[in-house]
Amino acid sequence: MKSQLKKSLLIALFSIFIYSFTHKFYVSVFIIEHNEKNKTLEITSQVFLDDMEMMFRNKNIELDLYSTSDIISDSLIKDYFKSVFKIKKNSEILEYEFLGKELFDDILNFYIEVKDINYKDSLIIQNKLLIDLYDSQKNIIHFKSKNNNKSFLMNYKKTEIQLNLS
């Protein structure tokens, strides 16, 4: 009886151990910096390449995200970002400029700029990046301004945060 209990316990522990290595984490990171001098938000988004490819594949779109100069990919990525990543000031959705992307190993960096952001502004950030693809998707936002450094964890239950720049 004891040996069977030990055997069952070992199998359970082994299964948990194996599962922990096969379970994938779904996370993206956004670094948002307020440039007070230029009155801009400078945003870098870091996303796993395979997650972005899977998101487009689920929409029956095959993209070559390894290419840094693919105009079609850039256009589709811009459209996707604008549908899932929004910045509001005084209840108005702000336009932003998609500056480009870079690939580092299996991480895609996207660069975005928002203009006319003042030191005393209060903003609402909505981030639903890849949440429609993975229920367990986490989007981390690191915010930096002259007097304010904060980090936020967003998920399918929490898709909006409020930022006070001052």
For residue 46, the enclosing domain spans 25-164
pLDDT for 93-142, tens place per residue?
999 999 988 888 888 899 999 999 987 888 999 999 999 888 899 999 99
Closest CA to 41 of 110, 113, 101: 113
Q: Span 9-33, mean pLDDT?
A: 66
Q: Report the domain count for the chain.
A: 1
Is 11 a domain residue?
no
Q: 44 lies in a domain?
A: yes
16 assigned to some structural domain: no
Whether residue 5 is contained in a domain is answered as no
Inside any domain, residue 15: no
Whether 151 maps to a domain, the answer reads yes
Residue 18 placed within a domain = no
Q: What is the rounded distance in angstroms from the CA atom of residue 19 to the CA atom of residue 66? A: 30
The lowest-confidence range among 22-26, 35-39, 61-65, 133-137 is 22-26
**Is position 49 within any domain?**
yes
